[in-house]
Amino acid sequence: MTKVIKNGTIVTADRTYKADILIEGETIKQIGADLKGDETIDAEGAYVIPGGIDPHTHMEMPFMGTTAAETFETGTWAAACGGTTMTIDFVLPGADGSIKNAINEWHRKSGPQICSDIGFHCAVTGWNESIFNEMKDAVDMGVNSFKHFMAYKGALMIEDDEMFASFKRCKELGALPMVHAENGDLVADMQQQMLEQGITGPEGHAYSRPPEFEGEAANRAITIADAAGVPLYIVHVSCEQAHEAIRRARQKGMRVYGEPLAQFLTLDESEYFNTDWDHAARRVMSPPFRNKQHQDSLWAGLQAGSLQVVATDHAAFSTEQKRMGVDDFTKIPNGSNGLEERLGVLWTQGVETGRLTMNEFVAVTSSNVAKILNIYPRKGAIVEGADADLVVWDPSITKTISASNHHSILDYNVFEGFEVTAQPRYTLSRGEVIWAWGQNSQPQPGRGKFVPRPAFPSAHAALSKWKALTAPKQIHRDPLNIPSGV
Ligand code: URP
Ligand code: ZN
Ligand code: ZN
Ligand code: ZN
């Protein structure tokens, strides 16, 4: 059974050209002119892009005394409706602290539900011998990136010496360390100060997490990664201070990656000063939204290449869950939505404004993610042999984002009212059309697959080689050469 996508303009991270794409089963068989297949998918007037990959989601995540409302089914379905065909979700170890058990638990929860493909990162939230050992098990299970929380004191936060030990273990295993960069000690103190001053509303969340706290932690994590000799991925970069740290590190030859979020690029801190408590609380996430100058910095970073990928950190808590913090902003579950909106918002506010080229758009939403996370070109590319995760991206479909028409389980949408100027006409996951605009497509839970990611991406090996070459070396001296009379 073959399909051909006809009459479209293929847009990849490095090329824009007219060609048909022949799909056989789950993969791309051929790219060229006048191809024929058993079925035809029309892409006239549209672009054909690699399916989006969201490198940062939290579906059904147990967090801050509750569990994220978005299920693996609704999350991966919403993603597909917005043109994202793969999500990388964060596994959090449970009460027993076991990484292996946590990964198995994520498989158990996600397997029957996912509508498109998934991969996992895993959090390292402490340090002991079994974590050291189980990091190897995780890599063997296809989970080769580990997130370290420098914030959430008293819960997920890890200390510097533990982080250093874990980063060194990542280097040995060919795994990628990731950090949530905020100074958790300072945040905890500032939160208390805010509460003591009677600032109990969501504005206190923003005040207690200034950009300096993020920049400091980003610099610290970069220093620790450099000392360990391992690349570093900084998640949810929200501000110039963290971006500056990344930029400077990269300019010195360090392998550091930065991930701004679609929310950070388009929504700002004024949301927290909204007099409607629910409105403000729904946007509480860490780090918080920043001002326009920070947004400009993030856009410039995507243009310059100092920031590489755009994620959502989709952690969807309902209004009712957000109200857990009605008297105390520190109890508002942290997280916001964006999985379905990421491509449309980034296209409209990035490509349509000239801030990004179409090729840069593809790079930051798909190809760069696949390269950094070592699944390229199986994912993130339009080449023969790649998985046929493809989106027929139609710049003539406009939509007003709203909770009333989105596919997320959430009762609100932080992008409510945003006009987007392109949407998927078709979304294909491994060759199957799973979403068609205006055709009442339905979710197909369980058809998604877990995609194991191999260790030792090329940047890792290159850095190890360079570190070995430039490592401190003992100077051998002949003691008999000591000048006489000394
Ligand atoms: O506020 C956020 N970002 N919630 C999700 C957990 C995390 O820190 O990534
Ligand atoms: Zn500390
Ligand atoms: Zn985080
Ligand atoms: Zn996150």
ipTM above 0.85, yes or no: yes
The finding on whether 180 has its CB within 6 A of some atom of ligand 1 is: yes
Q: Which helix (H) or strand (E) holds 173?
A: helix 160-173
- Residue whose CA lies nearest to ligand 1 atom number 4: 335
Q: Which domains are delineated in the chain?
A: 48-464 (3.20.20.140)
Asked if 281 and 322 touch (Cβ cutoff 8 Å), the reply is: yes
Instruction: Determine the distance from the C-alpha atom of residue 184 to the mean position of all C-alpha atoms in its chain, rounded to a whole number.
Output: 21
The preferred substitution site among 313, 322, 332, 337 for testing ligand 1, maximizing ligand atoms within 8 Å of CB, is: 313
Distance between Cα 90 and ligand 4 center (Å): 7
For residue 151, the ligand 1 atom closest to its alpha carbon is 8
**pLDDT band, residue 377 (cuts 50/70/90):** very high
C-alpha 236 to ligand 3 mean position (Å) = 7
The pLDDT tens digits of the residues spanning 425-435 come to 999 999 999 99
Ligand 1, atom 9, lies closest to the CA of 313
For residue 313, how far is its CA from the centre of ligand 4 (angstroms)? 4
Please give the number of the atom of ligand 1 that sits closest to the Cα of 285.
1
| Residue 160 clears pLDDT 90, i.e. is over it | yes
- Ligand 1 pocket, mutate which of 209, 284, 286 (most atoms under 8 A from CB): 286
Rounded Cα distance between 438 and 83, Å, is: 14
Q: Average pLDDT in the 433-445 region?
A: 97
| Element of type H or E holding 10 | strand 9-11
Residue 94 neighbours by CB distance under 10 Å? 11
Distance of CA 188 to the CA centre of its chain: 25
Cβ–ligand 1 contact at 285 (below 6 Å): yes
Q: What is the pLDDT of residues 364-373, one digit of tens each?
A: 999 999 999 9
97: pLDDT strictly greater than 60: yes
β-strand partners of 4: 22, 40
User: How remote is the CA of residue 57 from the centroid of ligand 4, in Å?
Assistant: 6
How far apart are the CA of 96 and the centre of ligand 1, in A? 22
List of residues 6+ apart from 139 with CB closer than 8 A: 173, 174, 175, 455
321 token code pair: 């869950």
Within 358-461, strands assigned E span: 390-394, 399-400, 419-420, 423-429, 432-436
36-72: b (≥16 Cβ within 10 Å) or e:
ebeeebebeebbbbbbbbbbbbbbbbebbeebbbbbb
- Which is the closest atom of ligand 1 to the Cα of 56? 9
Q: 235 C-alpha to center of ligand 3: Å?
A: 7
In terms of C-beta density within 10 A (0-12 exposed, 13-18 middle, 19 or more buried), how is residue 336 classed? buried
Q: Angle at CA 166, nearest 5°, toward 165 and 170?
A: 120
The residue whose CA has the least distance to atom 5 of ligand 1 is: 335
Residue the block writes with tokens 């100077």? 475
> Confidence class of residue 332 from pLDDT cuts 50, 70 and 90?
very high
Closest CA to 307 of 296, 321, 293: 296
Which segments of 33-180 are extended strands (E)? 39-42, 47-50, 52-57, 62-63, 66-67, 84-91, 117-123, 145-149, 176-180
- pLDDT > 90 fraction of the chain, expressed in percent and rounded: 98
Using the mean position of ligand 2's atoms as its centre, give its distance from the Cα of residue 184 in Å.
Answer: 7
| Alpha carbons within 13 A on the beta-carbon side of 390 | 33
Q: Using one digit for the tens of pLDDT, what is the confidence trace for 177-187? A: 999 999 999 99
Using the mean position of ligand 2's atoms as its centre, give its distance from the Cα of residue 151 in Å.
9
Atom of ligand 1 at shortest distance to CA of 147? 9
- pLDDT at position 124, please? 98
Q: What is the pLDDT of residue 485?
A: 66
Ligand 1 atom closest to residue 152's alpha carbon, by position in its atom list: 8
Tell whether ligand 1 has an atom less than 6 A from the beta carbon of residue 283: no
Q: What is the mean pLDDT of residues 252-264?
A: 97
pTM (2 d.p.): 0.97
Contact 308, 246 (CB under 8 A): no
pLDDT at residue 481 tops 90: no
Indicate the helix (H) or strand (E) that contains 30.
Answer: strand 27-32
**65 Cα to the center of ligand 2, angstroms:** 23
Q: Indicate the angle between helix axes 240-251 and 211-228, nearest 10 degrees.
A: 20
335 C-beta closer than 6 A to ligand 1: yes
The tokens for 300 are: 């410039």
Give the residue whose CA is nearest to atom 3 of ligand 1. 286
- Is residue 88 within 8 A of residue 146, CB to CB? The reply is no
Three-state SS at 386: coil
For ligand 4, the distance from its centroid to the CA atom of residue 315, given in whole angstroms, is: 7
Other C-beta atoms lying within 10 Å of the C-beta of residue 101: 15
Three-class DSSP category at 294: helix
Q: How far is CA 395 from CA 44, 311, 392, in A?
A: 11, 21, 10
List, as one string, the DSSP characters of 31-65: EESS---SEEEE-TTSEEEEPEEEEEE-TT-EETT
Ligand 1 atom at shortest distance from the alpha carbon of 90: 9
Which atom of ligand 1 is closest in space to residue 149's alpha carbon? 8
Q: pLDDT tens digits, residue range 214-255?
A: 999 999 999 999 999 999 999 999 999 999 999 999 999 999
C-beta of residue 144 within 8 angstroms of C-beta of residue 113: no
Of 422, 345, 312, 369, the closest CA to residue 51 belongs to: 369
Which neighbouring-strand residues pair with 123? 147
